[in-house]
Amino acid sequence: MLSIGLLSTATIAREHLIPAFQSASNANLTAVASRELSKAKKLARQLDVSTTFGSYEELLESDEVDAVYIPLPTSQHIDWCLKAAAAGKHVLCEKPIALKAGEIKKLQRAASKHGVLISEAFMVTYHPQWRKVRDLIASGKIGNLRQVQGSFTYFNKDPDNMRNIPKLGGGVLPDIGVYPTVATRFATGQEPLRVQSRVDFDPKFKTDCYASVRAEFKDFELSFYISTQMSNRQTMVFHGDKGFIELSAPFNSNLYEGDEVKLHNAGHSETRTYRFTGVNQYRLQVEAFANAVAGKKSDVFTLEDSLLNQKVIDAIYKASNPKATNSARWQKV
């Protein structure tokens, strides 16, 4: 059993990762740290966890944990991953693990120097629905893929939420822009060559709150929009010359009409539906992480993958620069 410590009492931990640790077959949550000891104690009591700390540093010094889960505000991910690695702890860190691709290289060096695993928590890549999409595309079920379309939107104008605070790493691209890119890269095995984009910022928060993106891959195009100030929606469609694939809940599994992948034929006269009811992608993520730490076969998300995904996000920001000289504003990834 991998013994995991939690750095902070974050919402994502309380809602999704703690249940995942509790149900995982090969990992256990054994310690909780918060900036305030009373918060750590309160959460730990509910979980029947006895070890608590009033600072993240103390948890890193503890021999009771082999690994840490980091769901801190995004701007703190790199620092705490580096500190955890230096303390000899394996790390599962929330997405996005970095705000710039260059920072991920520091993590690669630290992981190798200290002999630890650092993995970004891209839960979608563990969901069997995405493996199904990948297999359907690879087996030619939709013929030649030409167009991928996606959306991911929600409404949140809370000034105290980290997504609306620049110094905490807020912004729609770091928060959810990373999903259409990671999912497309995962499902197709291809990397984008260049991107065009429009990125709008909230005048008060100064964080990006809307983006629309067009990305060119070798054989197909991806276009998607994302927003923190639109009504809830999430879609992903993969369209080829012999059919198309759509997902009902591509990112927040179990939302909307449950987890369904629909394969439509060329004439749109036949649809095959694959259902994934009851899958917990967070539990699968924790188990894959623990297997990788144990040296077992695992398809854990690697830092190389993180680097490639963050390069796309960096290029999207660059492409949106209205002062760019290239009139079409294509930005190489």
Ligand X SMILES: NC(=O)c1ccc[n+]([C@@H]2O[C@H](COP(=O)([O-])OP(=O)(O)OC[C@H]3O[C@@H](n4cnc5c(N)ncnc54)[C@H](OP(=O)(O)O)[C@@H]3O)[C@@H](O)[C@H]2O)c1
How far is residue 22's CA from residue 20's CA, in Å, rounded to a whole number?
Answer: 5
Nearer to ligand X, 85 or 162 (CB): 162
Nearer to ligand X, 123 or 145 (CB): 123
Between vectors from CA 174 to CA 302 and to CA 207, what angle results, nearest 5°? 165
CB of 48 to ligand X, least distance (A): 18
Q: Kindly state the tokens that stand for 39.
A: 């918060």
CB of 174 to ligand X, least distance (A): 7
CB of 300 to ligand X, least distance (A): 15
Nearer to ligand X, 175 or 331 (CB): 175
Q: Who contacts 255 (Cβ-Cβ below 8 Å, separation ≥6)?
A: 234, 249
How far is residue 71's CA from residue 12's CA, in Å, rounded to a whole number?
Answer: 7
CB of 39 to ligand X, least distance (A): 5
Nearer to ligand X, 70 or 117 (CB): 70
- Range 196-202, long-range pairs (CB < 8 A, 24+ positions): 196/319, 196/328, 196/329, 196/330, 196/331, 197/316, 197/317, 197/319, 197/320, 197/329, 197/331, 198/320, 199/173, 199/316, 199/317, 199/320, 202/164, 202/229
CB of 32 to ligand X, least distance (A): 8
Nearer to ligand X, 154 or 244 (CB): 154
How far is residue 148's CA from residue 222's CA, in Å, rounded to a whole number?
Answer: 5
Which residues sit at the interface with ligand X, rule CB under 6 A? 8-12, 34-36, 39, 71-74, 94-95, 121, 123, 162, 168, 175
Residue 95 falls in the annotated catalytic set:
yes
> Of 83, 89, 95, 141, which one is the catalytic site residue?
95
Residue 96, preceding peptide bond in cis (omega within 30° of 0): yes
Q: One-letter amino acid identity for 186?
A: F
Cβ neighbours of 329 (radius 10 Å): 17
CB of 253 to ligand X, least distance (A): 9
How far is residue 290's CA from residue 65's CA, in Å, rounded to a whole number?
Answer: 13
User: Alpha helices of 150-302 — where are they, by DSSP H?
Assistant: 172, 178-188, 281-293
Nearer to ligand X, 223 or 302 (CB): 302
**Nearest 5°: phi and psi at 98?**
-145, 165
Q: Kindly state the tokens that stand for 31.
A: 């310690």
Name the residues annotated as catalytic: 95
